[in-house]
A and B are shown apart, each in its own frame.
Chain A
Amino acid sequence: ETGVTQTPRHLVMGMTNKKSLKCEQHLGHNAMYWYKQSAKKPLELMFVYNFKEQTENNSVPSRFSPECPNSSHLFLHLHTLQPEDSALYLCASSQTYPYEQYFGPGTRLTVT
């Protein structure tokens, strides 16, 4: 595997389910990110991890819970989601500032 991988690519879940999104980077980077991309809306940064430490949490509801066990892996745990949480969730990684971020293919999430 190369670059940034995300699983699953598609996910349909009910509002009472619990699921997790996984991201793995094979680039040796030390920062990882979760973004949300909704239709007709700008990219929204959700969480930033630097060297496994969370450095940003942009007022994300608690039903989204990130986990970064090491610099190569990032998870987004989901529970009790709302239909408006349906979106494309993108993971990215980078060296620390000022370097470019590399993105995974995303997980298309649908909450029913």
Chain B
Amino acid sequence: AQKVTQAQTEISVVEKEDVTLDCVYETRDTTYYLFWYKQPPSGELVFLIRRNSFDEQNEISGRYSWNFQKSTSSFNFTITASQVVDSAVYFCALSDQNTGNQFYFGTGTSLTVIP
């Protein structure tokens, strides 16, 4: 069965600190895709990244970076030098060949960056 676990419900950091959001997934497929989304207070989920199961290279985009480790079934997201605008709920999601268009979302991590 497919499952995404985000064990951190809420995190608070002081501005300019680094923060890592954890995501652990379960799937029996060898081909699957992982995603991160940001949901600011306005409500709209904003797509951040898609990663396929065959590409384990870490990715960096500005202050954002992602660490994909198949050995531990994790796809963690790090924000470097956090800013107040990073305050949001962050969701990790999984889709695989078995479920196709259906995404499995984690329960989200609420990040608060304190100025």
Interface size band for A: 20 to 34
Q: For chain A, residues 29 to 44, give those with C-beta under 8 angstroms from any C-beta of chain B.
A: 31, 33, 42-43
Given contacts A48-B102, A55-B101, contact A98 B44 (CB under 8 A): no
Binds B, one of A13-21, A60-68, A76-84, A103-111: A103-111
- How many interface residues does B have (CB within 8 Å)? 22
The interface residues of chain A lying within 8 Å CB-to-CB of B101 are: 31, 33, 48, 50, 55-56, 94, 96-97
Whole-angstrom CA separation of A56 from B102 in the bound complex: 8
Residue of chain B at shortest CB distance from A105: B44
- Top 7 nearest A-B pairs (CB, nearest first) are A103-B45, A105-B44, A97-B100, A106-B43, A98-B33, A43-B105, A42-B107
14 A–B contacts from the bound complex (CB under 8 Å) = A45-B103, A50-B101, A90-B43, A90-B45, A94-B101, A96-B100, A96-B101, A97-B97, A98-B52, A100-B35, A103-B45, A103-B46, A105-B42, A105-B43
What is A's interface to B at a CB cutoff of 8 Å? 31, 33, 42-43, 45, 48, 50, 55-56, 88, 90, 92, 94, 96-106, 108
